[in-house]
Structure 1
Amino acid sequence: MMKFFCRWIAIAALTLGVSHAAEVSVAVAANFTAPMQKIAEAFAQDTGHKAVLAFGATGKFYAQIRNGAPFQVLLAADKETPALLEKEGFAVAGTRFTYATGRLVLWSAQPGVVDDKGDVLRTSTDGKVALADPKLAPYGAAAIESMTRLGLLQRLQPRFVQGESIAQAYQFVATGNAPVGFVALSQVMADGRIAKGSAWVVPARLHAPILQDAVLLNPGKDNPAALALTGYLRGEKARAIILSHGYEF
């Protein structure tokens, strides 16, 4: 009888949770597209809540949020933007946390173009080099910092083609408009390896850590789905998905 009663309570709780399911509007840094799509699917299955996702450049989201965009959670590509939004009163104080640490790669859609030391940056003399706008996208800023430390920035700068976000930088390379480009490791990794083409994982010592922070925004402070998502991102299932896409903690 007790076993049946406990099972009934569990079913009732699940039914109650679904009946109170809510939606959360999430602004997601473009580099985190693939893992967040998987996390949102698991989140819906496990909680009954729905995450409505928008992907783009962190700098652009910052401007939109300050101008009243009704996002409820921000998953940024840096730690500075969530901190600034919190300081300026657009995010709930004390809700920031690092959900992932990103890795930068130099990538080509073609095999054999990028060597395992990135020497192609020194030996190649033509063709565009794609990167995200460093004013809008932290991965773009990391690319600039890396080239600066390698002493290659002035040489390569005339060949730059910039995307608004890391997603656009990836498209430049994937479509062949640029033979190489700086993208997020998560964009080219599948099952723990580079899915196609050739790549050099930029050593972490060449740029500041790409700490990616999440924060609960003011429109989401009373939304149970928003609160649930911020907790879910720190859970084991979400962390396993994040690690499988080449991120670190």
Structure 2
Amino acid sequence: MTPIKSILRWAGVLALLASNALHAEEVTVAVAANFSAPVQKIAAAFAAATGHKATVVVGSTGKLYAQIKNGAPFQVLLSADDETPTRLGKEGAGVAASQFTYATGRLVLWSRQSGVVDDKGEVLRSGRFEHLALADPKLAPYGAAAVEVMTKLGVAASLGPKLVQGESIGQTYQFVSSGNATLGFVALSQVMVDGKIAEGSAWVVPTNLHTPLRQDAIVLNAGKDNAATAAFMVFLRSDAAKAVIRSFGYEP
């Protein structure tokens, strides 16, 4: 490449970057707590690729739904289920046609201590622990899935006195991580690093023991005419985003 062509090429790149910067917008994304780590990486890659900025607000799906219904200015919801986005679409709070499944999650029974959780979950039948943490099943789909698992295994009643509930799967993880609960049902994404359980002991719950954890995204009314919102929804389907999603133990 000649020096003149090289200069012209880089001039074109700089002009494009300047144009993107001038037209960059921001999208506020409400995100289920189980997806907080992946979305931070996705948001950074999104900003680098598009020039737009994604601001992330994390919480339980139930709490985020209540905030949306009370007028919170979120523009996109990344839910921990598929029912909440569907409900928002039917209620006129979101764009029904924009809804799609961005990830399918996995539930894991986890302890920070090695040797506590066996690879078949038999520890639940033994009851040899003081506290078992799970997310509030009324607010968090992962908590509802945990209840399904215990019910199918026939241990729900016996474990009742040992249960401690977090408002979200994020708080539930903190209970177990801090040692306040010996073990707990958390999202696989919270304990996986580079495709492996980072520490402690774990049982990845078979998917036939609970309703599939399909996690859907939807554009909310506040994001209808926002360029960054449209760009984010497209980016969420990209190979770059899917690679991040897989790295945390989800199926995109």
- TM-score when normalising by structure 2: 0.95
Q: Structure 1 stretches (4+) deviating beyond 2 angstroms?
A: 1-14
Amino acid at match of 1:127: E
Per-residue deviation at 1:15? 1.8
Alignment of 1:71-150 (within 5 A): 71-150=74-153
> Which of 160, 166, 173 is matched with 1:157 structurally?
160
Query: Which amino acid in structure 1 is aligned with residue 244 of structure 2?
Result: I
State the identity %. Answer: 63
Matched to 1:247, the amino acid is Y
Task: Provide Cα deviations, 1:73-131, integer angstroms capped at 9, x if missing partner.
Answer: 00000000000000000001300010000000000001111010011111134411100
Question: Structure 1 counterpart of 2:32, which letter?
Answer: A
Q: How does 1:158-173 map to 2 (within 5 A)?
A: 158-173=161-176
Tell me which residue corresponds to 1:16: 19
C-alpha distance in structure 2 between counterparts of 1:126 and 1:115, whole Å: 13
1:45 paired to 2:48: yes
Answer yes or no: is 1:223 the counterpart of 2:226.
yes
Count of residues paired in the alignment: 249
Q: Are the aligned partners of 1:146 and 1:206 in contact in 2 as well (CA < 8 Å)?
A: yes
Distance 2:21 2:211 in 1: 42
Aligned-pair CA distance for 1:207: 0.3
Displacement after TM superposition at 1:239 (Å): 0.4
Q: Is the 8 A contact 1:18 1:47 kept in 2?
A: no
Counterpart of 1:202 in structure 2 is 205
For residues 195-231 of structure 1, the C-alpha deviation after alignment (integer angstroms, 9 at most, x for no partner) is 0111000000000100000000000111111111111
Instruction: Check if 1:248 corresponds to 2:251.
Output: yes
Distance 2:128 2:46 in 1: 47
CA RMSD of aligned residues (A): 1.3
| Unaligned residue ranges in structure 2 (runs of 5+) | none
| Contact 2:61/2:139 (8 A) holds in 1 | yes
CA contact (8 A) 2:109 2:203 kept: yes
CA contact (8 A) 2:127 2:159 kept: no
1:60 paired to 2:57: no
Offset at residue 11 of structure 1 (A): 3.5
State the one-letter code of the partner of 1:138.
P
